[in-house]
Amino acid sequence: MEAEGVMKEVFLSVLSRNLESILSSITSPTLLLWGEEDNFVEIEDAHIMKKEIPNSTLVTFPGIGHTPHKNIPEELAGEIEKFLIL
């Protein structure tokens, strides 16, 4: 199996578990950065995480998949910087 297939299986295994109780216990401000075209972890999961993690911020990137750090590094860095300055 290719590395991409293995990674996808790992993500699916993690996501198949009920993580909501764990997510709700996160108390630190949390920045969620998500490509709307992510094929590994769907955008719906980002919205679930946003809902379950108190004090979280979700930033989505239209037309971007699982690797915004490679596709739009400057925009991603800008969002991280804005979050850290708050």
Looking up residue 48, the CATH number of its domain turns out to be: 3.40.50.1820
Q: Which residues pair with 60 in a beta bridge?
A: 34
The Cα-based distances of 62 to 52, 54, 68 in angstroms read: 22, 24, 10
At 12 the pLDDT is 72
**Contact predicate 66/38, CB 8 Å:** yes
Which ranges of the chain have pLDDT less than 70? 1, 3, 11, 14-17, 86
**Contact predicate 45/18, CB 8 Å:** no
At 6 the pLDDT is 80
How many domains are contained in the chain? 1
Domain span at residue 39?
3-85
pTM reported for the whole predicted model: 0.77
Tell me the pLDDT tens digit for each residue of 44-53: 989 999 999 9
